[in-house]
Amino acid sequence: MEPEAGPVLYQKLQVWEPSLESEEEEEISEQLIPDASRPHDSSGNKAGHLPGAWAQLVAALLLLAVGFSLAVRQLCSSGASPGALGSGAPPASGHSHRPGMYHHGAIISPAAECSRLGRELFVAGGNIVDAGVGAALCLAVVHPHATGLGAMYWGLFHNSSSGNSTALTSGPAQTLAPGLGLPSALPALHMLHTHFGRLPWPHLLVGPISLAQKGFLVDTSLASALAAQDTKDLCPLLCHANGTPLGPGTRVTNTKLAAVLHKASLAPTPDLSGDALLSLLAEDLGLEGPSVGPRPTLEPALQLPVPQGILFTTPSPSAGPELLELLKASLQSAGPSPAPCPALLQAAAAPRSSVLATVDSGGSVLLLTSSLNSSFGSGHLSPSTGVLLSNLVAESAAGAWACPLIFRGISDDTEVDVLGLVASGTPAAARVMTHALLSHLAGPQTPDQQGPTESPRACGQGTLLQVAAHTEHAHVSSVPSGCCPFQGF
């Protein structure tokens, strides 16, 4: 046996599995590698009497077996993050897939940090609601130009176990003060999690609180919005000392927002998670008391049966009913599909909104969309809370930007076929999603062909996210391609 074969093999394994102590290696080596200086092996044969070639072969085979065993151990443990629950950790897999296709679950959002946080919640034993709500709270910290605690939320959740789809509705937009919308994000997200989440509510806020307290990096999306914005009312939070807006890569902290999120993590009910914020905002604005409007609700989603399955979306005052009418007319006309990005989508000045989507391989889907109505909303930064209030008031077209869509195909009990679509950017989102759904129904598509394929510039400023469950895998993609980071396992 070559004298360095054993040590080199173990040194290489140590790089991958640092938890293996040297004592453990020596013990394994002593047990499994024949020592020529010993008079007998375990069977009573004299090792010194084996021919040299046979001794080398036996030693090499034993070393190979030990190396393979340790390598398998490393692969099985590398998928779980520290503190992950066993139920959420992905098992070792002997094969891989194209980007955006996963064995268990996936999340796609506009911010890489928030998609990563959503995946961590998956791996920690959470479900798609935990991952989606946690990512939405993360976006409220790192993307204040598009969403936040001052935003209005709509959502659509499909439960593959029950076959039911539920809509999260914010209700009609309400005014907190002239030109300022009443925030409903915290009670809406808390309510959704209370009914369908698995992890404890405070667990979902650990990441967002840390980002607000310790700081996050300005990404390209936020930097572009700042460059196009009058930042006078956003200073000092999002400005340099000289008043110029922050650029990409700059670290930002929002300690007031961190404190609000910490209070929200302790709230026992959905209502209380929003009441604490309203009290602080009322004090900031000199109001006598918090303005209490209609609370967010969970209600059955709108449904439209089609020959291939059933469609689900959000009720009025969202654009869901308009979307179903478009789809019904298109399916009945049997004419050509509408253009993927009509002229209206590319030209119209539309409410600013943010979207995210999560899916698991069993066919459960969560779509979330939120809006401040315009970039940075009202531009009013609350000094006591670090929250930007929206200008999404009662006179606004409150739901024109909200029409998440889920399609559940007819199941043959052997393969699930569920598709989720959610778009941001303009009131023409319904037309874009109509085209995407008709393209899907025109299939069939193989798993590697699933997902929007339009060119990156096809949809102007809008974003379309698509998630699907097919052939026991979770799929995620977007238009423009690459616009939104995704994570999965």
Classify residue 240: in a domain, yes or no: no
| Pair 187, 278 in one domain | yes
Across 134-138, 184-188, 379-383, the highest mean pLDDT is recorded for: 134-138
| Pair 73, 105 in one domain | no
Name the token pair of 108: 């796609």
Kindly indicate the confidence band of residue 437, based on its pLDDT and cuts at 50, 70 and 90.
confident
Question: Could you tell me which residue, 273 or 216, shows the higher pLDDT?
Answer: 216
Classify residue 183: in a domain, yes or no: yes
Classify residue 110: in a domain, yes or no: yes
| Pair 384, 467 in one domain | yes
Classify residue 442: in a domain, yes or no: yes
d(CA 17, CA 23): 14
d(CA 280, CA 287): 10
**pLDDT (average), residues 243-249:** 94
CB atoms within 10 A of CB 208: 28
Could you tell me what percent of the chain has a pLDDT over 90?
A: 45
| Pair 73, 207 in one domain | no
Question: Could you tell me which residue, 106 or 399, shows the higher pLDDT?
Answer: 106
DSSP 324-376: HHHHHHHHHH--PPPPSS-HHHHH-----EEEEEEEETTS-EEEEEEE-SSTT
Question: Could you tell me which residue, 484 or 338, shows the higher pLDDT?
Answer: 484
Judged against a pLDDT cut of 90, whether residue 77 lies above it is answered with no
Bridge partners for 300 per DSSP: 166
- What is the predicted pLDDT for the residue at 56? 64
Question: Using one digit for the tens of pLDDT, what is the confidence trace for 29-73?
Answer: 333 333 433 444 433 444 444 456 555 665 556 555 545 554 444
d(CA 211, CA 251): 10
- What is the predicted pLDDT for the residue at 472? 87
Is cis: bond before 305, omega within 30 of 0? Answer: no
- What is the predicted pLDDT for the residue at 198? 97
Judged against a pLDDT cut of 80, whether residue 297 lies above it is answered with yes
Kindly indicate the confidence band of residue 334, based on its pLDDT and cuts at 50, 70 and 90.
low
d(CA 488, CA 103): 8
| Pair 29, 107 in one domain | no
| Pair 347, 421 in one domain | yes
- What is the predicted pLDDT for the residue at 458? 36
Classify residue 93: in a domain, yes or no: no
The number of folded domains in the chain is 2
Classify residue 94: in a domain, yes or no: no
**pLDDT (average), residues 151-156:** 94
Question: Could you tell me which residue, 388 or 434, shows the higher pLDDT?
Answer: 388
- What is the predicted pLDDT for the residue at 48? 43
**Total residue length of the chain:** 489
Is cis: bond before 3, omega within 30 of 0? Answer: no
pTM confidence score: 0.78
| Pair 136, 28 in one domain | no
Could you tell me what percent of the chain has a pLDDT over 70?
A: 69
- What is the predicted pLDDT for the residue at 116? 97
Asked whether the beta carbons of 286 and 415 are under 8 A apart, the reply is: no
Across 204-208, 397-401, 417-421, the highest mean pLDDT is recorded for: 204-208
Classify residue 424: in a domain, yes or no: yes
Question: Using one digit for the tens of pLDDT, what is the confidence trace for 347-374?
Answer: 334 457 899 999 999 999 999 999 998 8
Domain ends where: 78, 109, 130? 78
Is cis: bond before 317, omega within 30 of 0? Answer: yes
| Pair 64, 158 in one domain | no
| Pair 50, 120 in one domain | no
**pLDDT (average), residues 289-308:** 86
Kindly indicate the confidence band of residue 346, based on its pLDDT and cuts at 50, 70 and 90.
very low
CB atoms within 10 A of CB 416: 20
> Among 145-154, 400-409, 434-443, whose mean pLDDT is lowest?
434-443
Domain ends where: 78, 110, 126? 78
Residue with tokens 């005014």: 175
| Pair 183, 69 in one domain | no
Question: Could you tell me which residue, 75 or 234, shows the higher pLDDT?
Answer: 234
| Pair 38, 177 in one domain | no
CB atoms within 10 A of CB 384: 16
- What is the predicted pLDDT for the residue at 64? 58
Question: Using one digit for the tens of pLDDT, what is the confidence trace for 371-398?
Answer: 998 899 999 899 999 999 998 776 565 5
Give long-range contacts, CB 8 A cutoff, 24+ apart: 259-264.
260/149, 260/385, 260/386, 260/387, 261/137, 261/141, 261/205, 261/208, 261/209, 261/212, 262/205, 262/209, 264/186, 264/190, 264/205
Residue 173 φ/ψ region, left for φ over 0, alpha for ψ in the -120 to 50 degree band, beta for the rest: beta
Average pLDDT over the chain reads 77
| Pair 201, 59 in one domain | no
Classify residue 221: in a domain, yes or no: no
**pLDDT (average), residues 448-476:** 67
Which structural domain range is residue 478 located in? Answer: 101-215+253-488
Question: Using one digit for the tens of pLDDT, what is the confidence trace for 189-203?
Answer: 999 999 999 999 999
